[in-house]
Every structure is written in structure tokens, then in C-alpha cells.
Chain A
């Protein structure tokens, strides 16, 4: 999946849990949860959505690799690469 498509999925999911924020203005290296005010419950819903939309399985210990938009995209790409091998 291309970076643009991954971003679209991420923004759609963020818009669901933080509808009052414009997630598309997120900077690549700013902390997603702090910037958008996402609590642990909403973050879990976000991960559930990512897994469903992208067909990946995110272990809990990898949550720490998904703090910024840049880190999240890098993480998803690496998981997709691993899965395609």
C-alpha cells in the first residue's frame, strides 16, 4: 500500500475518534495522541480500526512504535513487508 493510501486510512480513523480535530494538519513528527487528545480507550479503537482496514495484527508491545505519523507509517510499511514475504 502506498504512503498516501496509508495516510488516508489513518486520517479516516482519526476523524472517527477525534471528530472535532483536523487530523490532516498533523505534522509528521508530532505526537498523535497528545496533539489530538486521544485517550487509551480511543487509541485502542484506533488500533482495532487499523488492523481491520489494513489486514495487519498489531501486538500490544508495538503500540510504542506508533507515536507519530511518521513512525506509524514506517511501522505499517514494515509490517506489510514482513507479511508479504
Chain B
């Protein structure tokens, strides 16, 4: 039997609330299938499964709070020969364990909520309608005898709830709450990072003339929807540099653990403040066009706070890119347990000395903030130099 546990969604998140199961017992699942939607500080996250098999039992109920690591479901692996009796026994044991673990986090029992509602005068039909339509009767003003709430009161409240203005207000309120959650999550992760990680910083300046000229030429041949942004060159150059200096693509968890996959966390700013960092999986293996396709999918979903669990939890390093403008340099704060963050400032025309002569060039400042427990200056220099070299040969990216 496979235990499907609530996955980690990054160092800054401890739990979520199960909104909906997308599978039911008996359903066959494959690696990467989305099995549930969980509401978290970083929005509504699609939870993926990482095993193949048949759903045996859904342990967590919709609406329950789920701490990271909690058993959510039991899956029978494909070709499993365990007898159904054994399965029942195992499931029973697991369930008991989970009940104990869950006691502390279960939402207030419905009975308690009902008691407060009972004090409100309301007809049985109106109560049923309110429950069915998700209307909080404590917010209604009754127009019936002795101020009791009638069917008409509920109908009016329901109609009001469905007006475009009310829908917009509900949407805005939900988004504000999510943004507050994002802020809290960032605060938690960044405080932990500054408290625990001994950061050191390095910087290099790169002449982007060749890269931008190559990009302009490439984009000239493309339809507008297929054009590349220069950030894909930065992502690919970074992935190639990580291949050369793998120590920078690692976690620090009681020692250095190198990561084979290069999953670059791409910092996406939210319009109302806050940042989310979805992972670009396998960045090294992707072409520039494929990287742009990934960004076209990832950035709008990140801005709408609609990401998948693997996108929030599997970054092995972070890239923060200031983009166009006049901010030359950014020094990042490492997202634990990663050991480095790369910061790219805006591309700005600067005086550039080369071969004894001075000229104006479009220049980008690329910084590396690294964990000194894991990396030293020598590796940092190797990494930044490799990135610089790759950006001088854009046609090879």
C-alpha cells in the first residue's frame, strides 16, 4: 500500500485546506495526475500524485486542514498482491494514526456553528435554502413575524450575492486574503533564511550586445506570439552554468545534497505585491522556444495563484530578474533549503572598456547570493564566469 501524504509546498508553507478531491476510490492514477485542490497561502494549488496505482481510500475529507506530511489517501500500487483483508487491516491502522494526528488541526465541529445559528429565528424551508446556497443566516435581516427570516429573505440575499458587483467583491476579498497569505509565507521563509543561512555575494557585469542582437534577429523571423524574451537566454545560460558547477544547484539539509535535476525557480511578482516562485522543470534540457512556452503557461498561472504542488516544491535554485527599467543590481535572499539565488538587474547602457577603448554597451549585472556553508567564492566565480561565457554565445544556447 502506498501512503499518499500532503506534499511539501516549499519551506514557507506548513499546511493547506483540502477543497476538493479530483479522484474517488477505485480510480486509477498515474504519476503527475492531479488528485486534489488544496487552498494554501499561495493560492489554490493542484496537488499531484507521484505513484501509479488505484485509489484505495481517501482519508482526508474536503474542508479539512492538512498539515504537510499528513496521510491524505491510500493507493494500491499496480500489480499489488496484498489480500483485501490485509489491506483493510493496514488501512484501519493508518486511519487510527491519522485520526490522532489530525485532532489538533480539525476545523471547528459543525455542531458548534449550528448552535449559534439556532438562535436566529428562521423557517425550516428558509434554513434549508440558505444552507444549500451557502448563505450565512446570521448576516440576514428577517422580515417575517418577530423578525424571523423567511424564504423571500433568503431568495433576495441569494440574488444579491449573484450580482456582478457582489461577485467582484467576493473575488477581490478572496484575492486580498490570498495576497496576505503570500506575504506571510514570504516573511516566514525570508526570516528563516536570514536567520540560518550565512549569505555571501558576488557580482559580474555582462555585455549583452551579442545576445540582444541575436535575439532581435531571431525574433524578426518569428510571429509575435512566438517571440522570445531575453529572460529565456538568462534561464538557459544559468542552467548550463549549473551543469558545469553542480554544487550551486543543491539543498543544504544537514549537509550538502547536490540535485541532479536543474529546476530553476522563477520569481514572479504579483501586481498587488508579493512574489511566487514556480519551478521551471528540467531547464537544462529545454530549448529556448520550449522555455518561452513554459513561461507563457507558468507566469499567468503564477499571477493568478493557480500553481501545481510540484511547481511550488521542486525548485533547486532561484532566479530573480528585475526586467526592463533602471535598476542595475539585485542581491537576493536564498530560499531555503536551496543554497543560492541568482539576481539579474535591468539591462542598462553603460560605459564599457574593452581592448583599450571605451564605448557604450547594453550591460546586465548578474549577482550570486550563496550559502557559505555549501559554497565558497571559488565556485561562485566559476558559476558566474560560466554564465557570462554562455551569454556571449547565444546561438549555442
Contacts and interface: CB of A to CB of B under 8 A. Distances in A.
Contacts of A29: none
Contacts of B227: 44, 60
Nearest to B303: A42
Contact of A40 (B220, B225, B324): B324
A33 B272 CA distance: 16
B224 interface: yes
Contacts of A58: 224
B333 to A, nearest CB: 21
Contact of B220 (A20, A48, A51, A60): A60
A39 B269 contact: yes
Interface string B99-120: 0000000000000000000000
A41 B302 CA distance: 13
Contact of A20 (B219, B224, B271, B324): B271
A65 interface: no
Contacts of A48: 224-225
The interface residues of chain A, by DSSP majority, are classed as helix
Which range contains the number of A residues in contact with the other chain? 10 to 19
Interface string A17-39: 01010000000000001000101
B224 A57 contact: yes
A18 B271 CA distance: 8
Contact of B229 (A33, A44, A57): A44
Interface in A34-78: 37, 39-41, 44, 47-48, 51, 57-61
Contacts of A41: 229, 295, 299
Contact of B219 (A37, A57, A60): A60
Contacts of A20: 271-272
A61 B224 contact: no
B170 to A, nearest CB: 15
B224 A40 contact: no
B25 interface: no
A40 to B, nearest CB: 5
**Most B Cβ at <10 Å: residue of A44, A57, A59:** A44
B282 interface: no
Contacts of B229: 40-41, 44
A36 to B, nearest CB: 9
A60 B216 contact: yes
Contacts of A59: 220
The CB with the most chain A CB atoms within 10 A, among B216, B225, B269, is that of: B225
Given A60-B216, A60-B219, A39 B324 contact: yes
A47 B224 CA distance: 8
Interface in B221-257: 224-225, 227, 229, 231
B167 to A, nearest CB: 14
Contact of A61 (B216, B272, B295): B216
B301 to A, nearest CB: 12
Contacts of A61: 216
Contacts of B147: none
A53 to B, nearest CB: 12
Interface of A: 18, 20, 33, 37, 39-41, 44, 47-48, 51, 57-61
Interface of B: 216, 219-220, 224-225, 227, 229, 231, 269, 271-272, 295, 299, 323-324
8 contacts: A20-B271, A20-B272, A40-B231, A40-B324, A41-B229, A48-B224, A48-B225, A61-B216
